[in-house]
């Protein structure tokens, strides 16, 4: 796949949000996630010729991102990571820091796949179809997992 500089810039603009969301969900550290985003696009630039089916570019980028995240986390294993903070708006619009802290801890304690789906849907506001393509599953599976994870969060909040 021959791609010029402007074409690659467009590719980055179109897919940066997805790659950033995945990097953040893997790393849970803003600095490490930024490194992963940069590394993902660097690897994409270098390996563009290996992309045989341009219609699968999102899946390909997700695989590159996952591998870059694994490499980054291995290199930074001894470094302490920042906790993910989640802001929760209460019905009157003000922020409830205690509730936000509880939800953040619950989200941090979720299985990796549940945490990724929650972050991609609620933080990055990706559709079920976009999440499904990014994670290599069906949109029905995304819906089922989101249903399960919402129920888990509500149950854990009730404790």
Distance CA 103, CA 6 (A): 41
pLDDT, one tens digit per residue, over 71-111 is: 877 776 544 333 344 444 445 444 566 777 787 788 878 88
Reference 34, options 69, 2, 61; nearest CA is 69
Q: What is the pTM of this model?
A: 0.54
CATH architecture of 97-158: Orthogonal Bundle (1.10)
Residue-level pLDDT at 16: 93
Residue-level pLDDT at 34: 92
Tokens 């599976």 correspond to what residue?
Answer: 141
Residue-level pLDDT at 120: 77
Q: Which one-letter DSSP state was computed for residue 123?
A: I
| Alpha-carbon separation of residue 102 from 90, 93, 118 (angstroms) | 13, 18, 15
Distance CA 158, CA 93 (A): 21
CB-CB neighbours of 145 under 10 Å: 21
* Residue intervals in the chain for CATH 1.10.1740.10: 5-75
Residue-level pLDDT at 3: 60
Contact 43, 22 (CB under 8 A): no
In the chain, count H helices and then E strands.
7, 0
* Residue intervals in the chain for CATH 1.10.10.10: 97-158
Residue-level pLDDT at 29: 79
CB-based contacts of 105, cutoff 8 Å, min separation 6: none
Kindly write down the DSSP assignment for every residue of 39-94, as one continuous string: HHHHHHHHHGGG---GGGHHHHHHHHHHHHHHHHHHHTTTSPPPPP----B-TTS-
- What residues in the chain have per-residue pLDDT under 70? 1-5, 76-97, 124
Domain 5-75, CATH 1.10.1740.10 — does that match?
A: yes
Residue-level pLDDT at 110: 84
């Amino acid at each position: 796949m021959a791609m010029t500089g402007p074409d690659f810039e467009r590719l980055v603009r179109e897919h940066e949000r997805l790659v950033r969301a995945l990097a953040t969900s893997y790393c849970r550290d803003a600095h490490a996630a930024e490194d992963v985003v940069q590394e993902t696009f660097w690897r994409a630039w270098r390996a563009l010729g290996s992309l045989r089916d341009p219609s699968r570019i999102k899946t390909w980028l997700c695989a590159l991102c996952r591998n870059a995240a694994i490499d980054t986390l291995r290199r930074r294993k001894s470094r302490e990571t920042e906790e993910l903070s989640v802001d929760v708006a209460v019905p009157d619009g003000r922020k409830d820091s205690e509730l936000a802290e509880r939800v953040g801890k619950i989200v941090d304690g979720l299985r990796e796949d549940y945490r990724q789906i929650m972050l991609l849907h609620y933080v990055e506001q990706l559709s079920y179809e976009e999440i499904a393509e990014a994670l290599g599953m069906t949109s029905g599976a995304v819906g089922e997992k989101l249903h399960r994870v919402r129920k888990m969060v509500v149950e854990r909040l009730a404790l």
